[in-house]
Amino acid sequence: MPGRVEAVDVVLIEEEVLESTSEASLAADIVVPVEEIKTDLTEPEESKPRLEQVLESQSVERVWPENFLKVAIRKAVTAGVPVNMFVLLLLFPLVTALVAFSRNVVGIKGFGIFTPAVVAVAFLSTGVVTGVLLFLVILLTATLSRRLLRKVRMQYFPRMSIMIWAVSMSVLGLLLLSPLVGLIDLQTVGIFPILLFILLADPFIDAQIHKSMRTAMMMAIETVVLALLAFLIVKSEWLQKMVLLQPEITMISSLLVNFLIGRYKGLRLMEVYRFKDLWRK
């Protein structure tokens, strides 16, 4: 009897151990958080699964005049064309329409229409914080190098080339310091977004030469503001889904919006605020 009791006790203890082990493993499965995958619209491999699921959620059976682009996009994606390319190409006219609206209706200038749109796409790869940091470093280096070369007699293009050299060296130094200061996003950024930011030194220096330092700084700030607004448009998953599922409507809508902006002949909102005292009189 005593041996039988001990055997029963051992069986009960083993069952309790198994139950506690299973509960512990279940608790571990619940407690361990699932790491969120960061998707980059400019990287085909990262954005491909999500965007292809968007395409699969819509069934297109027949080719009609109003959905010819949907069918063409699906055939191209099946043939191997990255789906994120279509999303970026369809969103880019919306971004430029935003820049045109801000210039013609609001009165925010910035460095043209192309620069804010390109910076917005670069923000997708670098992130806002890292992108703004790169932008500030480039503008500061361009300003300092221009001041140092002001008294040197040199033709325009060699002078600009030396300034671009200084900007490139400053970005190189920032990349070398990134592991020490903890800029993880900067360590994983591709070369093309960095080159886009370096090219921003050209219009900034040109604005300093032909206008003034204050005007160049204001245009730089306006460019960043427009780029951030455009970044929100490109980053929006709802808009990405909309342009992918309704590409024909997106193309026509962006064209009509630009046409309406071009027909606007009233005062800009910034001018209304600037001359508000005259309106009161």
Dist. CA 253–CA 63, nearest whole Å:
21
Is residue 217 within 8 A of residue 106, CB to CB? The reply is: no
The answer to the question of residue 168 being in a domain is: yes
In total, how many domains does the chain have? 1
pTM: 0.71
Close Cβ partners of 32 (under 8 Å, ≥ 6 residues apart): none
The answer to the question of residue 144 being in a domain is: yes
Token pair 């962006």: residue: 254
List per-block mean pLDDT (blocks of 10 residues) for the chain, which spans 281 residues: 46 48 42 42 67 75 73 83 85 88 84 83 81 85 84 81 86 82 70 78 80 83 87 86 86 89 79 66 58
The answer to the question of residue 197 being in a domain is: yes
Is residue 83 within 8 A of residue 55, CB to CB? The reply is: yes
The answer to the question of residue 169 being in a domain is: yes
The answer to the question of residue 196 being in a domain is: yes
Q: For residue 36, give the H/E element and its range.
A: none
The answer to the question of residue 36 being in a domain is: no
Helices 213-235 and 128-148, interaxial angle, to 10°? 160
Q: How many CA atoms lie within 13 A of 237 on its CB side?
A: 8
Domain that holds residue 208: 44-280
Long-range contacts of 125-128 (CB under 8 A, 24+ apart): 125/40, 125/42, 125/43, 125/189, 125/190, 125/192, 125/193, 126/185, 126/186, 126/189, 126/193, 126/194, 126/197, 127/185, 128/228, 128/231
The answer to the question of residue 175 being in a domain is: yes
Dist. CA 45–CA 191, nearest whole Å:
17
The answer to the question of residue 232 being in a domain is: yes
Write b or e for each residue in 81-107: b if 16 or more Cβ atoms lie within 10 A of its Cβ, otherwise e: ebbbbbbbebbbbbbbbbbbbbbbbeb
Is residue 118 within 8 A of residue 196, CB to CB? The reply is: yes
